[in-house]
Amino acid sequence: MAELSYREAIARGIAQEMRRDENVVFLGEDVAAAGGVFKGTVGLLEEFGPKRVRDTPISEQAILGAAMGAAMTGLRPVAEIMFSDFFAVCWDIVVNEIAKSRYMTNGQVSFPLVIRSGNGGGLRFGAQHSQSVESWAMAVPGLKVVVPSSPVDVVGLLAASIRDPDPVIFLEAKALYPTKGEVPEGDVPDELGRAKVLRRGDDATLVAIGSMVPRAMKAAEQLATTGIDCTVVDVRSLVPLDTQTLLEEISRTGRLFTVEENPRLCGWGGELVSIVGEEIFYDLDGAPVRITTPHIPLPAADALEDMAIPSVERIAERVQKAMQE
Amino acid sequence: MSTAPPSTQAGTSEVHTTDRDTRVAMYRLLVELRYFEKRAYDLFLQNLVKGTSHLSLGQEAIAAAFGAAMRPGDHTFATYRGHAHTLARGVPMGPVLAELLGRENGLMAGKGGSMHLTSVEHGMMGSYAIIGAHLPIACGSAWSAQYRGTGAVSVAFFGDGTTNIGAFHEALNFAKIWDLPVVFVCENNLYMEYTAIKDVTAVEHPAADRAAAYGLEKIIVDGNDPDAMHTVATAALDRARAGAGPSLIEAKTYRHGGHSRADPAKYRPDAEVQEWLARDPLPMYRARLIADGVGEDELVAIEGATAQAVDEATEFAKAGATPGEDLLLKDVWSDGGWTWRN
């Protein structure tokens, strides 16, 4: 067991898979010699050499097109899109090409590839380097969408994503890069489509992903002191979605609170609320509540960004208020 | 800018580097692509082909020459105007026609349609209907071949309109810096959809004039001359296979019809159309082969056999069943299913 930061866990996760399978290759902007702008890929070039770890130009369509063409002809590429905001300049390759081609060709091709990207706010980078795009990816048939919240999940879910035969959008919470956690040595067995119950309480169920998971956990600790005992579920994978665990945990408390960093409209929590409404409506003891960033582009100033993204205090207050209604 | 056809003359007997069998094989392909596209058009008129379709009538020499020059294992990436490139890799006509008709015996069981023809077993890695997208994808398959040392070359065909979209420029730079075994082939038919390419492009030769920006040789070829095309294609494929990196070829050609089935192509001057019809690659090449000593009987036999094959393909396609509901939710994922939740 070693203590690793979330950013160190990325290099560890990729390296383990590159050692295991020589068809795993890695490409992106500043990922090789520089070790990544967030230092998430330090040491990969040194260990695996320039044939497998490749710096690219600032050409997101070329990066993802190359990953797609390589995946359909036998490699298992991991591609990095530095900031998830940049998906907007290569979304055609993701949505029209990678996601649709298996279906359109009646299963003739498959795309075992992973697209990693730094996602979300907290770094005061302003509206074009801070948004949460998991809902974009989730809306596209043919993409799996994974959002780890801890170093151990980074390693385990990266391995599961790279070994998966289908395209995975792997969204790393930028705000969590410096956070640390214990990671066992060697292979960390994990699977896509399995949510984790991080804490059990009988009064309310908080459901979160990525950077919102530690905040939901802290809010749950605060709420416990006021007599509200919360379950916290880390969804981890939006597609495939572990509805079984989610519905069980929501039914058990009768109250659902989603904690979402994304802007309000069409956030993943909206889909979850809809599933809950259709399938376990009569198990609910109160209206589901979505705690989200307001439907705005993210501001740069620290004071404003902190007001926008759900904070521990906002989560705790909102839960408390709803539980008293 | 001149839209005059390149100067190669029909019927002249030159010394060709391409051997006799290959030239006859190219003629066979020209005839197959021509007859197939004509049949596809007839089937639109009968409303048997639904949706849209983009024909290569007039542009067949490019696909035929590359089809003859490429090796099994090489990878083709085409656009929505991809019938000819699919057939040129040896994909049988029946399933292609059935795909156009939306039948279960289609190349992709009706799930892709005219614009997405794919047959991986023939090296036909897909027809892509978003302009420019397949150029970076071809770079990826070339990268894979380079990484694994397979010796395969990827070839991406695209229209003149593609030269004005970002993916074209990203792919050329990317291919050059990684020395990828990829050949980019611009089929310049003078029109991007309904608009003359010269009216919307900063340079005279939309692909070739950009080559220098990516450290590539400027290559312009008569896309209606199968021999010239074959010579250029072979050189580019050899170069890629030898590890010397990518090539960008601009082939001048002309489509006989409109952009798609909805387009009567009224925007083209009559004189220009007539000039290019006079340079139709099919009769031009036929006359040249005869002048070079190929017996007309042999060519007539090819034409007869192809006409019969097109009729048989048509019957095959028409006899295909309507796709069943079991196909609807199939093959989103590699496990064959579509499930997004448990």
What pLDDT digit, counting tens, does each position of A50-60 carry?
999 999 999 99
Q: Dump the DSSP string for A242-283.
A: -HHHHHHHHHHHS-EEEEEEEESTT-HHHHHHHHHHHHSGGG
Whether residue A133 is found in the same domain as residue A204: no
Chain centroid offset of residue A225 CA: 30
- The nearest CA of chain A is from the CA of B305 a distance in Å of 30
Residues of A labelled catalytic: 129
Whether residue A75 is found in the same domain as residue A141: yes
Check residue B18 and give its pLDDT.
Answer: 84
Strand duo A2-5 + A180-183: pairing: antiparallel
Contact A123, A300 (CB under 8 A): no
What pairs with residue A204 in β-bridges?
A230
Which of A160, A183, A206 is the last residue before a domain boundary? Answer: A183
Whether residue A39 is found in the same domain as residue A74: yes
Q: Name the token pair of B80.
A: 């929505």
Collapsing DSSP to helix, strand or coil, B325 comes out as helix
Whether residue A297 is found in the same domain as residue A246: yes
Q: How confident is the model at residue B15 (pLDDT cuts 50, 70, 90)?
A: low
Q: Please, what is the Cα angle at A240 between A234 and A245, to 5 degrees? A: 45
Lowest-pLDDT range, A309-323, B15-29, B213-227? Answer: B15-29
Check residue B7 and give its pLDDT.
Answer: 45
For residue B1, is pLDDT > 80? no
Whether residue A243 is found in the same domain as residue A140: no
CA A111 – CA A104 distance, rounded (Å)? 13
Check residue B53 and give its pLDDT.
Answer: 87
For residue B2, is pLDDT > 80? no
Domain count for chain B:
1
For residue B50, is pLDDT > 90? no
Check residue B11 and give its pLDDT.
Answer: 41
Check residue B260 and give its pLDDT.
Answer: 86
Across B238-242, average pLDDT: 98
Lowest-pLDDT range, A15-24, A276-285, B12-21? Answer: B12-21
In a domain, B238, yes or no: yes
Which of A148, A183, A218 is the last residue before a domain boundary? Answer: A183
For residue B218, is pLDDT > 70? yes
Chain centroid offset of residue B240 CA: 19
Q: Dump the DSSP string for B91-144.
A: --HHHHHHHHTT-TTSTTTTSS-GGG--BGGGTEEEEE-STTTHHHHHHHHHHH
Collapsing DSSP to helix, strand or coil, A5 comes out as strand
Share of chain A above pLDDT 70, in %: 100
Establish if B149 touches chain A: CB-CB under 8 angstroms.
no
What pLDDT digit, counting tens, does each position of B64-73 carry?
999 999 999 9
Residues in chain B closer than 8 A to A244 (CB atoms):
342
The 8-class DSSP code of residue A86 comes to: G
Q: How confident is the model at residue B35 (pLDDT cuts 50, 70, 90)?
A: very high
Across B225-251, average pLDDT: 98
Contact A158, A17 (CB under 8 A): yes
For residue B228, is pLDDT > 80? yes
DSSP H or E segment with residue B65? helix B60-69
Residues in chain A closer than 8 A to B330 (CB atoms):
106-107
* A-proximal residues of B, 291-330, CB under 8 Å: 327, 330
User: Per residue in A219-231, is it b (16+ CB within 10 Å) or e — as a string?
Assistant: bbebbeeeebebb
Chain centroid offset of residue A30 CA: 22
Whether residue A145 is found in the same domain as residue A208: no
Smallest CA–CA distance from B165 into chain A, residue: A61
What pLDDT digit, counting tens, does each position of B88-126 carry?
999 999 999 999 999 999 999 999 999 999 999 999 999
In a domain, A190, yes or no: no
In a domain, A189, yes or no: no
Across B5-17, average pLDDT: 49
Please name the member of A65, A103, A166 whose beta carbon is closest to the beta carbon of B136.
Answer: A65
Please name the member of B135, B170, B341 whose beta carbon is closest to the beta carbon of A240.
Answer: B341
The verdict on a CB contact (< 8 Å) between A109 and B330 is no
Establish if B109 touches chain A: CB-CB under 8 angstroms.
yes
Residues in chain B closer than 8 A to A141 (CB atoms):
332, 338, 340
Residues in chain B closer than 8 A to A165 (CB atoms):
333-335
Smallest CA–CA distance from B104 into chain A, residue: A106
Q: Which domain holds residue A299?
A: 196-324
Please name the member of A67, A75, A97 whose beta carbon is closest to the beta carbon of B128.
Answer: A97
Whether residue A220 is found in the same domain as residue A118: no
Please name the member of A75, A104, A244 whose beta carbon is closest to the beta carbon of B116.
Answer: A104
Q: Which domain holds residue B58?
A: 20-307
Instruction: Report the candidate in B76, B153, B145, B158 with the shortest Cα–Cα distance to residue B117.
Output: B76
- The nearest CA of chain A is from the CA of B325 a distance in Å of 13
Instruction: Report the candidate in A108, A99, A68 with the shortest Cα–Cα distance to residue B143.
Output: A68
For residue B13, is pLDDT > 70? no
- The nearest CA of chain B is from the CA of A227 a distance in Å of 33
In a domain, B326, yes or no: no
Contact A175, A120 (CB under 8 A): yes
The verdict on a CB contact (< 8 Å) between A70 and B136 is no
Whether residue A285 is found in the same domain as residue A155: no
What pairs with residue B191 in β-bridges?
B196
Contact A317, A257 (CB under 8 A): no
Q: How many helices (H) and strands (E) does chain B have?
A: 11, 8
Token look-up 């004509």 returns B38
Smallest CA–CA distance from B117 into chain A, residue: A105
For residue B16, is pLDDT > 90? no
In a domain, A299, yes or no: yes
Q: Across all residues in chain A, what is the average pLDDT?
A: 97
In a domain, A188, yes or no: no
CATH assignment of the domain containing A27: 3.40.50.970
Smallest CA–CA distance from B134 into chain A, residue: A65
Across B71-96, average pLDDT: 97
Residues in chain B closer than 8 A to A108 (CB atoms):
108, 118-120
Check residue A93 and give its pLDDT.
Answer: 98
Domain count for chain A:
2
Rg (CA), chain B: 20
The verdict on a CB contact (< 8 Å) between A93 and B141 is no
C-alpha distances out from residue B204 to A248, B133, B234, B250, Å: 66, 23, 26, 12
Across A67-85, average pLDDT: 98
CATH assignment of the domain containing B128: 3.40.50.970
Token look-up 């024909």 returns B55
DSSP H or E segment with residue A290? strand A289-293
For residue B181, is pLDDT > 90? yes
Contact B142, B174 (CB under 8 A): no
Check residue B9 and give its pLDDT.
Answer: 41
Reported ipTM: the value is 0.96
Check residue B3 and give its pLDDT.
Answer: 44
Pick among A53, A105, A164 to test the B interface (most B CBs inside 10 A): A105
Across A80-88, average pLDDT: 98
DSSP H or E segment with residue B85? helix B83-88
Which of A153, A183, A213 is the last residue before a domain boundary? Answer: A183
Residues in chain A closer than 8 A to B128 (CB atoms):
97
Size of interface A-B (CB pairs under 8 A): 160
Pick among B172, B173, B331 to test the A interface (most A CBs inside 10 A): B331
Whether residue A6 is found in the same domain as residue A117: yes
Whether residue A219 is found in the same domain as residue A137: no
Across A241-267, average pLDDT: 98
Q: How confident is the model at residue B4 (pLDDT cuts 50, 70, 90)?
A: very low
Whether residue A108 is found in the same domain as residue A141: yes
Whether residue A305 is found in the same domain as residue A205: yes
Cβ neighbours for A46, distance < 8 A, ≥ 6 positions apart: none
What pLDDT digit, counting tens, does each position of B257-297 carry?
888 878 888 899 999 999 999 999 999 999 999 999 999 99
In a domain, B313, yes or no: no
Q: How confident is the model at residue B8 (pLDDT cuts 50, 70, 90)?
A: very low
